[in-house]
């Protein structure tokens, strides 16, 4: 019998802790039960969990995938949001201290009409759609989530991008009084897209999930979702959007460019240096499934990268 030592096991092969801690918890996850949160953020005040606020009316979307949705409680208790902790359960336990009203998103840089948008203004910019998208994370786990939002292009058109604008940079909220102070990354969190990626109709300015406003741990009150890229490209709790001429430096690329490229398109043929990306594990399942090129959105987005070496521009 082959016994594998921890050093022999790639992170992508490890079943998420929330699914293996005990059989009862796993069964609860399969039936939509909660994944237990971590202890409250040490030294920070806890806040009462308000009842979720419904978002209505919602229009259906032609972009929906016809796959089983990941249970709400799994979507909202198994998260990457390092400002509130590096374990998957930390954000659900700790992010409640972040106030999401009032909230302003500043749009600046190479635009004809720079301005700031209050979150309530954002909610009125375009009809809200429910879009059932796959989410694929670089750690080789995935979910299917019904996001609520509208194309980011609707907001960008309001500020009239200049001809010299080639990229869009996103900057997330960072408050050292309530967020992680250790230099896991160079805070605040920054991400970026090419302008044509940002303007693509699949790129969603997101304000909710499962028909409700975004929970804090999922990036409230406004984030983006770019479904053909690995999850870290979808910046959370955005406070600044900046249009620029040169490729912006993303936080993870700055931290480790060998592992996290600027494009970070889901690509089963380009492995992470420490594990394969050819397969993924859907949260709530034991078995793995093949990873789809561009996370299954190749028909919609492959033309954006025509002629590019996707091994080089990973």
Tell me, yes or no, whether 13 lies in a domain.
Answer: no
Tell me, yes or no, whether 313 lies in a domain.
Answer: no
Tell me, yes or no, whether 311 lies in a domain.
Answer: no
β-pair partners for 105: 117
Split at pLDDT 50, 70, 90, the class of 20 is: very low
For 206, the domain range is 19-305
Q: For residues 217-241, b (16+ Cβ closer than 10 Å) or e, as one string?
A: bbbbbbbbbbbbbbbbbbbbbbbbb
| Mean pLDDT calculated for residue range 224-253 | 98
Tokens standing for residue 110:
């190479």
> Which domain CATH number covers 132?
3.90.420.10
| Distance between CA atoms of residues 66 and 51, nearest Å | 29
Of all residues in the chain, what percent carry a pLDDT higher than 70? 84
Q: What value does the mean pLDDT of the chain take? A: 87
Tell me, yes or no, whether 164 lies in a domain.
Answer: yes
Tokens standing for residue 177:
């009084």
Tell me, yes or no, whether 8 lies in a domain.
Answer: no
| Distance between CA atoms of residues 273 and 11, nearest Å | 11
| Mean pLDDT calculated for residue range 204-230 | 98
pLDDT confidence of residue 48: 38
pLDDT confidence of residue 56: 82
Residue 89 CB contacts under 8 Å (≥ 6 apart), including other chains: 17, 18, 35, 36, 37, 38, 77, 78
pLDDT confidence of residue 57: 84
Of all residues in the chain, what percent carry a pLDDT higher than 90? 77
Q: Read off the pTM.
A: 0.85
Tell me, yes or no, whether 7 lies in a domain.
Answer: no
| Mean pLDDT calculated for residue range 39-66 | 66
Tell me, yes or no, whether 312 lies in a domain.
Answer: no
pLDDT confidence of residue 4: 39
Q: For residues 278-295, b (16+ Cβ closer than 10 Å) or e, as one string?
A: eebbbbbeeebeebbbbb
Domain total in the chain: 1
pLDDT confidence of residue 44: 39
pLDDT confidence of residue 313: 92
Residue 144 has pLDDT above 70, yes or no: yes
Tell me, yes or no, whether 280 lies in a domain.
Answer: yes
**Of the candidate ranges 9-18, 28-37, 77-86, the one whose mean pLDDT is the lowest:** 28-37
């Amino acid at each position: 019998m082959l016994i594998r030592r921890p050093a022999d096991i790639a992170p992508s092969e490890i079943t998420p802790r929330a699914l293996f801690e005990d059989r009862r918890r796993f069964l609860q996850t399969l039936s939509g039960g909660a994944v237990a949160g971590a202890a409250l953020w040490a030294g920070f005040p806890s806040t009462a969990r308000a009842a979720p606020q419904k978002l209505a009316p919602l229009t259906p979307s032609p972009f929906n995938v016809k796959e089983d949705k990941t249970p709400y409680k799994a979507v909202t208790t198994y998260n990457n949001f390092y400002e509130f902790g590096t374990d998957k359960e930390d954000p659900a336990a700790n992010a409640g201290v972040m106030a999401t009203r009032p909230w302003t998103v500043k749009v600046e840089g190479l635009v004809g009409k720079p301005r700031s948008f209050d979150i309530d203004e954002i909610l009125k910019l375009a009809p809200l759609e429910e879009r059932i998208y796959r989410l694929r994370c670089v750690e080789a786990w995935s979910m299917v989530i019904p996001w609520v939002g509208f194309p980011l292009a609707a907001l960008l058109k309001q500020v009239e991008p200049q001809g010299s604008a080639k990229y869009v940079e996103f900057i997330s909220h960072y408050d050292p009084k309530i967020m992680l102070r250790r230099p896991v990354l160079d805070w605040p969190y920054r991400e970026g897209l090419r302008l044509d990626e940002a303007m693509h109709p699949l790129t969603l300015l997101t304000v909710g999930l499962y028909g409700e406003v975004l929970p804090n741990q999922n990036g409230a009150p406004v984030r983006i979702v770019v479904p053909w890229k690995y999850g870290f490209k979808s910046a959370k709790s955005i406070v600044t959007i900046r249009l620029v001429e040169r490729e912006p430096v993303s936080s993870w690329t700055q931290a480790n460019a060998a592992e996290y490229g600027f494009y970070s398109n889901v690509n089963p043929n380009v492995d992470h240096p420490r594990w394969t990306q050819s397969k993924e594990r859907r949260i709530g399942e034991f078995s793995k499934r093949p990873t789809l090129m561009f996370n299954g959105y190749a028909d919609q987005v492959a033309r954006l990268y025509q002629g590019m070496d996707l091994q080089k521009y990973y």
